[in-house]
Homo-oligomer: A and B are copies of this chain.
Amino acid sequence: MAKPSEPKRKKRNGGTTTSRMRDVARKAGVSVMTVSRALNDPDKVSKEMRLKVRAVVDEIGYVPNRLARSLSSNRSNLLGLIVPSIRNSLFAETIKGISDVASGNGYRLMIADSGPGLHEEEEAITAFLQQRVAGLVLHNTSHTANAIEMIGKAGIPVVENGNLTSTPLDSVVSYSNYEAARAMTLHLARMGYKQIAFVSLVRRENDRARERLRGYLAALKELGRKPDDALILERPPGFSAGAEAVMHLVESVPQVDAIFFAGDVLAVGAALECQRRGWKVPGRVALASFDDLDILRHVNPPLTTIRLPRYEIGRRSAECLLDRIAGRATERVSLDLKFEIIQRESA
């Protein structure tokens, strides 16, 4: 009797045919399982076997199929990351941190840009769950009800890292936007500034900006000062908006003596605008920023700001995720990576 014949391959791949483990096995004269073990668990096969398999793999240029592996083992090596804007260089640091840890551990990173909207975040989450990512990093700390439910059902670990929220989905690795903004406001007050303005990105659908405003208001309250609506602005991202904001404030509220730009590159735009107009900083108006973009050190005068451990946040987020995935950790983590006020010459 003939052995059950080899099933023919279903289709061709446009001429090129990718080799399978079976091809390696046949050529090496061993079983498929031995090849699998030689590749993934070398200690479980004899040295001689290992070498033989390796040789064949190299010879025919076999590239393992992770889709099949993941499907069979029910374990993927994919991490999903969703950021509000991939363009924003602030996130780039964090992405790099995640990417380094991921690739260092054999994981691959899928990145989605959700824009500011919660609904688009949900779509990205759906897509990632379909790919069966092993874990998820979200920058947002607010999500649609649907997104929350889906993540819960999927049973995968999640790290949020845009804000040290007290109500995380799962784990958080971040810093407190509230505390940072509060600290900077108090710092400016301590430096003697009386009329401190606050400019952030548009707060709608941006929990970070809202938290920062909350911190600013809390500081004012502690200082016994009344918030002044004319001193609280929101602007789109970009240098121009910062430039425009400083002009607007100095002209419409002449007594303003310090402006705290709580987001994006607004402060840089403002600083360059002051320079252009010959407004002394901090003589005419003091400037402070959020985040420690490299350029803040290089403008004239260097800008006082808040240093955030962006890379570290990425690194720790990924580590936290991998620990959970590998079962090395089972508990939720809430990690505050802190911030630091960098006093320079602009305030």
Contacts and interface: CB of A to CB of B under 8 A. Distances in A.
A153 B61 contact: yes
A32 interface: no
A155 interface: yes
Interface stretch (A126-134, A207-215, A223-231): A126-134
A99 B70 contact: no
Given A63-B154, A67-B76, A240-B298, A108 B131 contact: yes
Contact of A272 (B99, B109, B110, B300): B300
A13 B74 contact: yes
A281 B53 CA distance: 65
A273 B238 CA distance: 22
Contacts of A63: 126, 129-130, 150, 153-154
Contacts of A284: none
Nearest to A133: B108
A65 B129 CA distance: 8
Given A65-B130, A131-B67, A11 B74 contact: yes
Nearest to A63: B129
A96 B92 CA distance: 12
30 contacts: A10-B74, A13-B155, A16-B153, A16-B155, A18-B153, A61-B149, A63-B126, A65-B71, A67-B132, A71-B71, A78-B110, A78-B131, A86-B92, A87-B92, A89-B89, A95-B111, A99-B111, A99-B113, A103-B113, A108-B127, A108-B131, A239-B294, A239-B297, A243-B298, A265-B295, A268-B298, A272-B298, A273-B298, A275-B300, A276-B300
